[in-house]
Amino acid sequence: MSSVLTLIFRLFQFEGTKLHPNVLLMCKLFVILLTSHHIFYKIADPFIPFIPALDTFNDYPNVFKFILRTVYACSAFALMFNIKVRTASIITGLVVILSMIASKPLFSNHTFICGCALFLAGLTNEKEPPYLLIFQLSLVYFGASINKFLDPDWWSGAFMDTWLGSARENPVYLYVSELLPELIFAKLLSYIAMLTEFAVAVLILFKKTRNLTIWFIIIFHTTLFTLTAFRFGHFTESLAIVLLAFLSVPKEQLIINFKVQSQNNLKRFFTFIDLDKKQTWSPLSSENSFWLRLKTKNKIVYNHDALRDIILYTPNFFMIILIIDMAMYVVLYNHRIVLFALNVLFVWTVIIYYLPKHWFERNKT
């Protein structure tokens, strides 16, 4: 029984493997995301494949499908339970990509990014930053921006007007467009999108601008979601998950001191979800002016600064967020406006809570 429990706990553990804990988190979240979007059942025999030679498998029905499904199930299992994580990540990513290569109708960018990130994650290690994932993200935005720059309909606003005006009949877009000369708002949105994507593609490559770029990405996509109520398949979630790979999680134990009177529930919550036992919680004396302190090798932070970091350094917090997000989608499937409102409220609250306060403090002085 205890060995079964130990195995189950590994689902929620991220330390001690050949991957950075946050990269492993990214991989596990991708497996959950892909599986919940039925990738297992989408894997099928070749149908209109990109490589015509794959049609040969159709002479042996179900062989391709069953082999690929079995490989996916095994590699996803290994990844989720911390068994040969790098190999499992590479194989899972390759299965996802191969399933799309075997079927043009199955191709989607939001699935492709998952496959690419999983494959490249498996080529990283726990010693160096995940440079390959940084380059991958840059490539995504570079491809997107180049394509737009070379399309006259993006410069004229025609695409934006067709998408938001005709296809989605977006009320915000229609209202604002009425107030401005024809296509001005469409052009403005187009130019912002193009420039943002190109800026992200370039700035994410440099360490100095990486954090700022990540904020760009978060705010850009959140604004897009707020304006359109659309996640582009699961592209928005996929991008958010990839960004987890860029977290700088301390390697050493996190020493957390807390005021028992007010923060006991906080301590119980984080202790419960910290299955890596990376956090050491000790009570503070009541004379202290602060209610929370986090000490790592490089810094000591207090109160909300400490809480923000503790959240970021607790991988299972993000597992919980993803599962709640998926559960909300199921529960509120027939109440899309409520679901949208809750999503927007949650995401913007988190953004405002995490906005680097020192940006504004610097401007004040």
Partner 1 sequence: MKFRVFIGILFLLLQVGSITYARFIPERFFSWAPYDSHTKFEVRVTIDGETLTTEETVARYQYKMKGWEQRSIYNIISLISQYEYTYSKNENAKVIMTYTTNGDEEKTWKFEHE
Return the structure tokens found at 281: 């919680």
Q: Out of 17, 75, 82, 136, point to the residue binding partner 1 (CB under 8 A).
A: 136
Contact call for residues 198 and 217 (beta carbons, < 8 A): no
Compare residues 135 and 269 and give the one whose CB is closer to partner 1: 135
Q: 6: number of CA atoms within 13 Å, CB side?
A: 3
Judged by CB under 8 A, the chain residues 144 through 183 that form the site for partner 1 are 144, 146-148, 150-151, 153-154, 158-159, 161-163, 166-167
Q: Which is nearer to partner 1, 79 or 132 (CB)?
A: 132
Q: Is 53 among the residues that bind partner 1 (CB under 8 A)?
A: no
Q: Where are the alpha helices (DSSP H) in 248-312?
A: 260-273, 303-312
H or E element that contains 255? strand 254-259
CA dihedral (222, 345, 353, 363) positive or negative? positive
Whether residue 254 contacts residue 310, with contact meaning beta carbons closer than 8 Å, is answered with yes
Whose tokens are 């025609």? That residue is: 158
135 in contact with partner 1 (CB under 8 A): yes
Report the nearest approach of partner 1 to the CB of residue 117 (Å).
11
Of the two residues 113 and 254, which places its CB atom closer to partner 1 in the complex?
A: 113
Give the helix/strand (H/E) hosting 70.
helix 63-80
Tell me how far apart the terminal alpha carbons of the chain are, to the nearest angstrom. Answer: 60
Instruction: Give yes or no for residue 76 binding partner 1 (CB under 8 A).
Output: no
Distance in Å, CB of 232 to partner 1, minimum? 6
Whole-angstrom distance, CA of residue 307 vs CA of residue 294: 8
Contact region with partner 1 (CB under 8 A), list: 2-10, 50-58, 74-82, 275-283: 50-58
CA dihedral sign of residues 288, 294, 296, 298: negative
> Which one of 19, 96, 120, 306 is in contact with partner 1 (CB under 8 A)?
120
Question: Least distance to partner 1 from the beta carbon of 34, Å?
Answer: 17
Q: Are 123 and 132 in contact (CB under 8 A)?
A: yes
Q: Please, what is the minimum distance in Å from the beta carbon of residue 23 to partner 1?
A: 13
Least distance to partner 1, CB of residue 180, Å: 18
Binding residues for partner 1, per CB under 8 A? 47-48, 50, 52, 55, 103-105, 107-110, 112, 116, 119-120, 123, 132, 135-136, 139-144, 146-148, 150-151, 153-154, 158-159, 161-163, 166-167, 232, 235
